[in-house]
Amino acid sequence: MKHLAKFTALAMVASLWSCSDDMPGNEQGGQDATGDFYTRITLQLPSSMGSRSETTDNGDPPESNNGYEFGQDYENNVNNITVILATRDGNAEPYTYKYVTSTNAIADQQSAGTPNSDASNTGTAAEPTFVMQFQSTAIEEIAKGASEADRTVYVFTICNPTSGIASTISGLSSGASINALIASIATEGNYSANPVTVEIAQSQNFLMTNAETHSCVLDTWENLLANNNTKAKAFDLGKVRVERTSCRFDFKQTQIEGVDGKNRYPIKETTSGQNKTYAYVEVQELGLFNEAKEFYLFRNASTDGMPENMVLCGKETSTNYVVGPNAQLIKTYAESAAASKAVPSADLIAKYFIPLYNGENQGIPYNITFTPITTPSVDDIHESVQKPLWPNNSDLDVADYKIWRYATENPLPSINSQVQGVTTGIAFKAEILAVEENVNNDALSTALRTAMTAGDAIFAFRESDNTQSSNSNLVMTFGNATALYNYAKSHEASEIRTKFVEAAAKGIFTVTDGDGNPTTAENMFTAESVTVTVKDGLTNAELKEFDLIAYQPTVGTDGKNHYYCYYYYYNRHNNNNRPAEMGAMEFATVRNNIYKLKVDNISAFGLPTDTPPDPWTPDETPQVYFKVTCEVLDWVVRLNNIEF
């Protein structure tokens, strides 16, 4: 993967950039401010020309040349920018960039750039140009420098800044470091329009910042004042390449061959050697969790994922990490959590919108905003006339992906920090459906139909040696409590029988004989006929010690019983193609990337509503029913095929 990043901006016209008379840098009363000078800056929007993120092409991972995807018009628009001028301290990375001054910029209507008339051949896009005015007092000392090195400034741009970011910049003083400027979002994107937006990814107003550092040598002080004192004679600061600070998720519905209905997956009996479908799960909704509230305004990278030695606008490679402002907090929790099985602390939970675990074990998804998977309708741009298309893989159907929503950057600071409690992911809500009687009449499918018709809890058994037991790994499904009892009765030496007896001793199950008398462990399986009842208000937290899971019914608005389960996908950023070995930056969300998702296969029921995943579980944990495969595409496209 030498190039992980290529977004090509679509056509932009000059009228998209606005100018306000009260914006700093405008002429006042038709006169240029005495003693001030004008500058001009050109933006290279996220494009296929140059990579935002590079990795060493050492074959592991291999170079990806699967193409890229173009942004929508409303993802490319620039209304206004704030420009920061800075100086640089140090003789080698990591340099410290120190604030000198900043101003808002206005679009230069004469040279804002127009779309190339033959974009199908060139792949180019408009490059908007902005004009700004700097006060002489802020820049005079630098411009009077004797050498070019003395007169060098570093130019940082913030396109479409939020009010919070504007306030932060306005509060900077001369000499303050800008390396670790933090951007925050106030609200998580709720589903109110198509597509969902977060604060930094609103239609026509996407926040963008430098994709790389950019320097410029100022002219001498005398020349600036004499030659660049009007907008028409603005000093050229050069071309600055920018990238979006948000990432994007696209989703594609799936049609399984031979199955009636989209997003419906057959669950088959395999433990008995049969391969018959005994139930279906139908994925109906999806929702984001663990979205970071904070990120660095400009992308930072370091070799160890920590901020001490991070490089401003540093490249992502196959061995380093993009850095987030909460790296130390995440690392401290994650690297000790696997041993202690601790839950996230309150200060860590507060760093996320929709935390996977809220500290009170209320069950997931207690606050996830779910979106019906049939709702997203905006097409991705995979059929652009420009080349190359994504991906160059003839076996992969690229059609029918829809833009679902946007999210913030959430990098994790080390291999051991990639755990479920801090990783941005997607929860899929699915409904368990019975197989029709005229399709399959074997014992298991009949037992499930019987339980679901009666509104009984459905019980399943999971491996007792599975340390990440909340991830399900079901090995057997039974039906209601009576079906579970019948299996235990007919399998005298089984672990399931032992667990059932233990659960009965704790009052989870009550087994009474034909006369209505409670049985004991000694005579539980000798009575001619029994009635099995379940403790009122039974929760999966109580069942966990017996390696059992129960799926309780929910009465819907239609008055019918519905059985729901949930699947949790932890977003894979860089797949090392080693299912048992975690790689650097394998799980994360990173700015200016598109993550394209589809559910390929589901082979077992997911987790019940009241059973959250264990937050300390590693993201790479192998699972029977939940297998994730990821194809990493060039700049910004990343395709994730999920197999549950």
CA 50/CA 45 separation, integer angstroms: 11
User: Which of 26-35, 396-405, 567-576 ranks highest by mean pLDDT?
Assistant: 567-576
Across 585-619, b (16+ Cβ under 10 Å) vs e yields: bbbbbbbbbbbbbbbeebbbbbbbbbbbbbbbbbb
Residue 206, sorted as left (phi over 0), alpha (psi -120 to 50) or beta, turns out to be beta
Alpha carbon 510 to its chain's center: 45
How many CB atoms lie under 10 A from the CB of residue 323? Answer: 26
3-state secondary structure 443-476: HHHHHHHHHHHHCCCEEEEECCCCCCHHHCCEEE
Residues constituting the chain: 644
pLDDT at res. 264:
95
On whether the CB atoms of residues 417 and 330 are closer than 8 A, the answer is yes
On whether the CB atoms of residues 285 and 449 are closer than 8 A, the answer is no
* pLDDT of 112 over the 50 cut: no
What's the pLDDT tens digit per position in 429-453?
A: 999 999 988 777 788 999 999 999 9
What's the pLDDT tens digit per position in 453-486?
A: 999 999 999 865 444 445 556 778 999 999 999 9
What's the pLDDT tens digit per position in 148-179?
A: 999 999 999 999 999 999 999 999 999 999 99
3-state secondary structure 211-252: CCCCEEECCCHHHHHHHCCCHHHCEEEEEEEEEECCEEEEEE
List, in sequence order, the alpha helices (H) in 506-644: 540-543
Helix (H) or strand (E) holding 628: strand 627-632
Q: Token digits for 481? A: 């409590």
**Least confident piece of the model among 40-49, 247-256, 358-367:** 358-367
Q: Tell me the pTM.
A: 0.87
pLDDT at res. 72:
79
On whether the CB atoms of residues 300 and 327 are closer than 8 A, the answer is no
What's the pLDDT tens digit per position in 538-576?
A: 999 899 999 999 999 999 899 999 999 999 999 988 888
The CA distances from residue 615 to 357, 416, 425, in Å, are 7, 13, 12
Helix crossing, 443-454 with 481-490: angle to 10°? 150
DSSP 566-589: EEEEEPBSS--S-TTS--TTSB-B
CA 524/CA 507 separation, integer angstroms: 14
